[in-house]
Chain A
Amino acid sequence: MNAIEIRNLSKSFGKKQAVNGLNMTVPEGAIYGFIGENGSGKSTTEKMICGLMHPNGGSIKLYGRDYTDPDVRARIGVLIEAPGCFSNLSVWNNMMIQADNLGIKNPETEIAKVLKTVRMEGAASNKFKNCSLGMKQRIGIAMALLGHPALLVLDEPINGLDADGMRIMREVLTDITKQGGTVLISSHILGELEKIATHYGIIRKGRMIAEMTAAELEADCPTYLSLRTKEQARAGQLLSGRLSRVEKDESGALRVYDPVKPEQVTSFLYQNGVLVSEIQTAKIGLEEYYIDLMKKEGR
């Protein structure tokens, strides 16, 4: 079953069309990386999924039911934009309020557990307003984890997290999917997203322009040889004459996409009087894939 199934979703604010005929499928148990530029409609879509905004058209199904179904909605954990906490209250009291909201029977035990998960057990008595940005994000994640949500909707949760926080986040999200949960996560930090996502959706101007599994992305992202020589222009000419796809990247390094071994390239250039100073095998990542896709779509 799909955890989220969106068909032809639209939402406008006055004349601005924020979401425009969006289709989206998030399978149960997936970590779905939701990617797009600022203002592309990610947050608006997430808010509609959570019932915080009303669509102008289209349908949203959560676990096969309409998104307004109270039973499904009661099992969503959410962190959209910033944690929804009362600044004058302590972290513990904020967590207790959310536990009350969810009707959790043994709130103290569960709060202690989720705070420990995000390594924030020592900050329970701190006032929320005195917490740093990274601490607030961790608390927001802990709050979203309360009540064992079936679906976790996270909007930019990595922002402000340090390296340890990011590692914890990866562990937490992976654990959730192991227990049958589903995660919808939007982020601009694509390198981090790439480490955990099992599915991707790329949105642009309110429309889904690509939706794929991590395996499909992997297949779409070719490996290449990246090399630097003391005569880049001549090396480029030589390689272009012999191989079918040689490009220069933004840093000035040459990229050879043909399936050739590094020693074949170095030996060929050496024979032609060009010394290779650096060569490595690399792979197109999500970030590059995304930038290329945006460039194509922008045309």
Chain B
Amino acid sequence: MAGKKKNGFISQSFARRLNSMLAVDSRRMFTAPLLYVLAGIALVMPILILVMTTMTAGSTVVDPNTGVETTREAFSSVWQDIASESGAGSSGGMDMSSMCNINLMYFMTGVFVCLFTAEDFRSGYAKNLFTVRARKGDYVVSKTVMGFLAGAIFLICFFLGTLLGGAFAGLPFALGAAGFFGVVMCMLAKIFLMAVFVAIFLLMSVFAKQRSWLSICLSLFGGMLLFMMVPMLTPLDSGIGNVGMCLIGGVLFAAALGVLSKMLLAKQDLV
């Protein structure tokens, strides 16, 4: 509750401060063309991937040096663009479906978080923001929530794009062993896992401040370390266990790295 002190300076509760910070960031995020451009890319990318790989499927390429013939293979199911079933995706094979699937959205979110955060410092808005906002925790929580939300939007756009791309390419929609429940759980697990990545990207962003090139490089590097675990944690036949693990991991990572981000903001000069 807010209480008025004798000299006229009013204490604000955490909820009220967070509310105002979220209002700032949501207004900024939803008025930023970057969000819509990236969401558009997330929607179009799977359509292009599925349609183009299906068009070139079956063609044979001959290596001019070795003379070895390679036949291009297409996706055999729409859902390969989302995830592989348990065991299949964790083989470590770097084929088309493991590289060009929905997991790319983690990196796209990294780019978004870095540019979104860097703009606070580049525009000079950080001066207005941090002058009146002495508690840096509000900023970190709000940015994490917004980054998570943006990541969820990109994942959903990619999912919708996959459905459209699959329809255009004429790929089978059969769910197999995973079932509809497995796909829903897989998407939820991927969304919750986004919190882990966002926390890493935010830490890199507050370290690099207005140097977005540095934060993007650091985020992609940091994200790459975890990227290999995504297929294992979020297979197509995910269950409640996968969702729970990603949710708990996301919350814990976001909290721990959030504390680090807050400490970093509190220790360094902001302009």
A→B interface (CB under 8 Å): 1, 47, 50-54, 63-65, 68-76, 78, 80-89, 93, 96-98, 100-103, 143, 147, 150, 153
B34 (CB) vs chain A CBs: closest residue? A88
Q: Chain B interface (Cβ within 8 Å of chain A)?
A: 5, 7-12, 16-17, 19-21, 23-24, 27-28, 31-33, 119, 123-135, 267-271
Q: Do B124 and A76 have beta carbons less than 8 Å apart? A: no
Q: Smallest CB-CB separation from A49: which chain B residue?
A: B131
Task: Tell whether, in the assembled complex, residue A150 and residue B21 are in contact, meaning their CB atoms are under 8 Å apart.
Answer: no
With A93-B27, A103-B16 as contacts: A78 and B127 at CB distance below 8 Å: yes
Interface pair A87/B9, CB less than 8 Å apart: no
Known A101-B133, A103-B19, A103-B20; contact A85-B124, beta-carbon cutoff 8 A: yes
22 contacts between A and B (CB under 8 A): A1-B7, A47-B269, A47-B271, A50-B127, A52-B270, A52-B271, A68-B134, A70-B12, A70-B133, A71-B9, A71-B12, A73-B134, A78-B127, A78-B128, A78-B131, A81-B124, A84-B126, A84-B129, A86-B125, A101-B128, A103-B17, A150-B9
Q: Which of B9, B10, B124, B134 contacts A51 (CB 8 A)?
A: B134
A103 to B128, CA, bound (A): 13
Complex Cα distance, B134 from A78, in Å, reads 14
Q: Could you tell me if A101 and B269 are in contact, using CB atoms closer than 8 angstroms?
A: no
Q: Chain A residue with minimal CB distance to B7?
A: A63
Instruction: Name the one of B20, B119, B268, B270 contacting A101, with C-beta atoms under 8 angstroms.
Output: B20
User: 4 tightest A-B contacts by CB?
Assistant: A84-B124, A100-B23, A103-B20, A70-B134
Q: How far is the CA of A64 from the CA of B32 in the complex (A)?
A: 40
Give the nearest-CB partner of B125 in chain A: A84
The answer to whether B134 and A101 have CB atoms under 8 Å apart is: no
Find out whether the CB atom of A85 lies under 8 angstroms from the CB atom of B9: no
A74 touches B125 (CB 8 A): no
- Residues on B with C-beta less than 8 A from A68 are 134
CA distance A69 to B124 in the complex (A): 22
